[in-house]
Amino acid sequence: MAEQEPPRLYLITPPEIELSQFPDRLAAVLDAQDVACVRLALSTHDEDALCRAADACRDVTTPRDVALVIETHFVLAERLGLDGVHLSDGARSIRRARKALGTEAIVGAFCGTSRHEGINAGEAGADYVSFGPVGETALGDGTRALPELFEWWSEMIELPMVAEGALDQVTVRSLAPVTDFFGIGDEIWQTEDAVATLADLVAAMESD
């Protein structure tokens, strides 16, 4: 297999955003770092709120040539002209999303800690899979995506993968050789200076 390319950044929005402030914070981060994709990952299911947030984020990402995907709501992805969807249920909805969005759209899938689910997602037509959480978190059942999963995947599977969930500098440094993307969200948004916090994570990502 070819030598692993350096991982890229994949940003995840907070579950709740203030539209008067968040687009400016997002713009500052995108201007400071090379980001491949932004995932709109709001907790609300209110369609109007999702649409307004998507429009606001798209106004930031499009001029910077950064892909914007929405979590779960692939019908809205099509309607709003977003770049694709990130599915949170593994392989189960991929074929339905792909049929709705077409071959050019990005369709990604969160597969938790399961190698098997990741393989199923790839076979169903996902463009990437994400595994996590990789760090300690109070969310979920405490199960973590261990380094061995990323090591095996990077050696055996061509499909790009995202490492996400409770990342810190130590974890980023250890996983950088064996993942394609780092999915970074609350790690930066919950700090006062998202740009500086992300710079620290990028420095760890790029260190030997």
Q: What pLDDT was estimated at residue 137?
A: 79
Cβ contact 72:92 at 8 Å: no
Specify the amino acid at residue 200. Answer: D
Domain spanning 8-206: CATH superfamily: Aldolase class I (3.20.20.70)
Cβ contact 7:178 at 8 Å: no
Distance CA 102, CA 71 (A): 17
Q: What pLDDT was estimated at residue 140?
A: 66
Tens digit of pLDDT at every position of the chain (208 positions): 345 679 999 999 999 999 999 999 999 999 999 999 999 999 999 999 999 999 999 999 999 999 999 999 999 999 999 999 999 999 999 999 999 999 999 999 999 999 999 999 999 999 999 999 999 876 667 799 999 999 999 999 999 999 999 999 999 999 999 999 999 999 999 999 999 999 999 999 987 6
Integer CA distances (angstroms), 188 to 73, 76, 82, 164, 195, in order: 24, 26, 24, 13, 8
* Annotated domain spans of the chain: 8-206
Question: For the CA atoms of the chain, what is the radius of gyration?
Answer: 16
Q: What pLDDT was estimated at residue 141?
A: 72
This prediction has a pTM of 0.96
Q: What pLDDT was estimated at residue 208?
A: 65
Spacing of C-alpha 121 from chain mean position: 15
Cβ contact 105:83 at 8 Å: yes
Q: What pLDDT was estimated at residue 25?
A: 98
Q: Six-digit token pair at 26?
A: 């997002």
